[in-house]
Structure 1
Amino acid sequence: MRRLKPPVQAIIFDFDYTLADSSEGVIECINFALDKLGLPLAADAEIRKTIGLSLPDALVMLVGEEHTQHSDAFAQLFVERADEVMTDMTELFDIVPETVTALQKLGIRLGIVTLKYRYRIESILRREQLTDAFEVIIGFEDVSEQKPNPSGLLTAVEKLECARQNCFYVGDSVTDAKTAQQANINFIPVLSGVTPRAAFEDYDVYTVLKDVSELLNLESVRR
């Protein structure tokens, strides 16, 4: 992985469990889709473990590989229900608005790379009056291959006009760690999701933080 060359010019974030908690919406949408397909409903705790995975991978994790033929229908039903409820059932973490404002004041450019649809992220940010805070948002509809393929992250870096060694990718999952590794970008895991610290031990990380507010404690960010 590239070693950081201070100062940090850009920070790119994952969304779910990094900037926001959409777990109640995800639980609702996954069980809606499973019910419509006649598959057994999943426990809330098991669904939370799938956040950060693609919908086909989430389906396999919840009901097994023998149901992969339902992947397309599952995704379609999930999105159908998500268009109705996901924005209202997603809450930004309390520390996010203040943290984002502070990073902007430091002159750091911000972006988001997520498995969620960009239009949904934009809707949530508009509600929170943070639309202008993130210069780049790369969502599901913007790339042909999803994380951990690094194409979305590399596109965000290019649009932010930042060298890879001058930026961070911040996320909560092993998928995010793999994405940063493949993009050769410094990765900072946050423990605001369901992934434990030990899960990141096999990855080259810059540091591990409790949540995104602790970015402001890093000397490389404060300059």
Structure 2
Amino acid sequence: MLYKTYLFDFDYTLADSSKGIVLCFEKLLAQNGYPGKKPAEIKRTIGLFMPQAISILTGETAANTIKLLQKRYSILADKYMTKNTFLYSETIPAMKKLKQQHCLIGIVSNKTRHRILETLHQEKITDTIDVIIGTENAKKPKPAPEPIWQAIEALHTDSSTTLYIGDSLTDAQTAFNAKVDFSAVLTGETQADEFNKYPYKNIFHSLAELC
């Protein structure tokens, strides 16, 4: 199928922000008296809605406590995140090739929009992205379908010609819920056979195989 619109997750799909995320969580846990977690444990939460990730890593369930920890995490992220986030080498060539094919490109992520924009500005590729739906402007977080629907509506495009690309089961479930095609990329923590839980069109080792 020829897709007119390509929507991407951000963390572990377009960029590796694991160094920044691990650093911020290590400091958050230490500064607030929680037991430390191994980097691998922290990395497995990448892509989840932040309150969910905080709950998993701290064991907290009270909404007020999680909200406070999220604010403290955000302060750490302001200092450490963007300078420790790097686009994959395949990302910019893939974006430019899609634009040459007159495709629409969007980012749909459980990361904040402003944090994504910081990296895009840093890498000077904001002109290749037509829409960004982050947590602060999503009606509901992934895996709810609303963020994908919001991107489709903003782009005045159609779900039948839209492909969503992501690295996690959250991404696969989001595409399934939104009733759009999905392709997985193996640059994250999810293994290829894990994606068998949801329908997919392709499994790519990297975005170099996308187009």
In structure 2, the partner of 1:88 is: 83
Matched, 1:68 2:72: no
C-alpha RMSD of the superposition: 1.1
Task: Please tell me whether the aligned partners of residues 114 and 138 of structure 1 are also in contact (alpha carbons under 8 angstroms).
Answer: yes
Task: Please tell me whether the aligned partners of residues 50 and 110 of structure 2 are also in contact (alpha carbons under 8 angstroms).
Answer: no
- SS of the residue aligned with 1:111? strand
**Inter-partner Cα distance in structure 1 for 2:58 and 2:118:** 31
Shift of 1:37: 1.8
In structure 1, the partner of 2:23 is: 28
In structure 1, the partner of 2:121 is: 126
> How big is each residue's C-alpha offset from its partner over 1:135-187, in whole Å with a ceiling of 9 and x where there is no partner?
00011100232100111111101112221110100000000011101100000
**Inter-partner Cα distance in structure 2 for 1:46 and 1:208:** 24
Paired letter, 1:157: I
> How big is each residue's C-alpha offset from its partner over 1:90-136, in whole Å with a ceiling of 9 and x where there is no partner?
00001111111111111111000011111111111011110110000
- SS of the residue aligned with 2:2? coil
**Inter-partner Cα distance in structure 1 for 2:108 and 2:20:** 19
In structure 2, the partner of 1:13 is: 8
**Inter-partner Cα distance in structure 1 for 2:131 and 2:44:** 27
Q: TM-score, normalised by structure 1?
A: 0.90
Matched, 1:162 2:157: yes
**Paired residues for 1:98-109 under 5 Å:** 98-109=93-104
Task: Please tell me whether the aligned partners of residues 20 and 90 of structure 1 are also in contact (alpha carbons under 8 angstroms).
Answer: yes
Q: TM-score, normalised by structure 2?
A: 0.95
Paired letter, 1:163: D
Task: Please tell me whether the aligned partners of residues 111 and 134 of structure 1 are also in contact (alpha carbons under 8 angstroms).
Answer: yes
Task: Please tell me whether the aligned partners of residues 96 and 212 of structure 1 are also in contact (alpha carbons under 8 angstroms).
Answer: yes
Matched, 1:46 2:38: no
In structure 1, the partner of 2:136 is: 141
In structure 1, runs of 5+ residues without a counterpart are 1-5, 217-223
Q: Pick from 202, 206, 209: which aligns with 1:211?
A: 206
Query: Hey, which bits of structure 1, 4+ residues long, moved more than 4 A?
Result: none
